[in-house]
Amino acid sequence: MSSACEVNFDGLVGPTHNYGGLSAGNVASQCNSQLCSNPRQAAQQGLAKMKLLMDLGLPQGVIAPQERPDLASLRRLGFSGSDAQVIAQAAEQAMPLLVACSSASSMWTANAATVSPSADTLDGRVHFTAANLNCKFHRSIEHPTTSRLLAAMFADPTYFAHHPALPAEAQFGDEGAANHSRFCRDYGAPGVELFVYGRSALDARYSAPQRYPARQTLEASQAVARLHGLSDDALVFAQQSPLVIDQGVFHNDVIAVGNGELLLYHQDAFVHSSKVLDELRDKLAARGGELQAICVPREAISVADAVRSYLFNSQLLSLPDGDGLLLVPQECQEQEKVWRYVQHLADAGGPINRVQAVDLKQSMQNGGGPACLRLRVALKSDELAAVNPGVLLTPLLYQQLSAWVAKHYRDRLCEEDLADPQLLIECRTALDELTQILKLGAVYPFQLAE
């Protein structure tokens, strides 16, 4: 049995989950803008997915949400006075800014950081680089708290190394693990890390999308690889097709997903697909692995179908009994063509022999599926033992978190509700209790009043 495992650390949906339509290039986010949300249901759906993986025998962790609305950002933008006055001014003078500063987008922890396991890094530690997410204002304000959360979860410097976000410049746009995959024979064995970028910031010879922004740059991916001490023979840099970015594929995890030795990808996912696959295959073979690549042809599933269903934003999971599970959003089941295709995959005798759908509608309406909600961290047994145990899901913790959500979360939130100063108090009270449940210490900047 392997002495290493992959842990999925899912983001807890925050109390201010709302549909602000803040993400240009994300079709679902734009289409559902201004709808009223249900934060309680959103958090419950996320917890149900976490419990499902735990019940399947997979190690599962949680990442806490962030304080919202972000008063510090509003103050930097010129609003002043008491907390209630800041919120009132923002609501009256610049409601879109208040919406942005109230986003619960940190729930999508695939964008929290890029993680390289110790088997790949020069110093033999697990490396984390928080993503700067500087393409979108509402996400660019996340990384300071993300860094504190990750440092509280993975605190032992013997095993873990943390890097701050890259410079907050367009040339170094970094969206984290949503554009990163790792391939390996075994989670504890040396692997090959695939970094996918949308454009080069400094080399005009690379093509670029015309309609929507390419959020990840080649230069950012290269910088993260250097910070993590990755060797050239364990790296592949691949350009995402600008044509699919312009069709709403804003991250690689909307058009491809990998796990272990398996890559499931759409025919139109990459520029120069054959070259990417050859390099992956050769470098993985040098590390004792054998790449298995499943190409989904455009004739079977169009890019538009992939975006509507979020087929590729599924989780590829290696179960303890040896089965390969594709955990898909319920939207795949609701689209006959897509569901027929994944059933064919499961029946074909290949590496994916189980398919299961999960209801994540509250997240999906904002453009985030199963893969968006989790940050994957491959850990050896001693590294897992060094993780803050408070963030590892157990039946007891699941019960505590379910009760916490029921106690603190609203079941309806519309844009006008973001102007209610009581919402900030509710969020702070909830997070103050959550830090005690998860044993996180002082990770939030606020202090509750006496």
Catalytic residue list = 175, 251, 372
Distance CA 345, CA 355 (A): 9
The tokens 């470098």 sit on which residue? Answer: 283
Beta pairing class for 4-11 and 60-63: parallel
Distance CA 21, CA 79 (A): 23
Under a CB-based contact definition with an 8 Å cutoff, are residues 9 and 377 in contact?
Answer: yes
Residue 135, classed as helix, strand or coil, is coil
Residue-wise burial string across 46-61, b where 16 or more C-beta atoms lie within 10 A, e elsewhere: bbebbbebbebebbbb
Going by C-alpha positions, the residue among 374, 367, 365, 370 that lies closest to residue 355 is 370
Q: For residue 400, count other CB atoms closer than 10 A to its CB.
A: 15
Beta pairing class for 192-197 and 235-239: parallel
The tokens 């149900």 sit on which residue? Answer: 48
Instruction: Give Cα 157 distance to the centre of its chain.
Output: 24
Distance CA 51, CA 49 (A): 5
Helix (H) or strand (E) holding 31: helix 27-31
Under a CB-based contact definition with an 8 Å cutoff, are residues 114 and 131 in contact?
Answer: yes
User: What residue type is 343 in one-letter code?
Assistant: Q
Residue 199 is given by DSSP the state B
Enumerate residues 6+ apart whose C-beta is below 8 A from 186. 2, 4
Distance CA 243, CA 24 (A): 16
Sign for the pseudo-dihedral over CA of 243, 246, 251, 254: negative
Distance CA 304, CA 244 (A): 9
Q: Is 399 exposed, middle or buried (0-12, 13-18, 19+ CB in 10 A)?
A: exposed
Q: Is 224 exposed, middle or buried (0-12, 13-18, 19+ CB in 10 A)?
A: buried
Going by C-alpha positions, the residue among 78, 91, 44, 60 that lies closest to residue 363 is 44
Beta strands per DSSP E along 156-209 = 160-163, 180-183, 192-197
Distance CA 264, CA 51 (A): 25
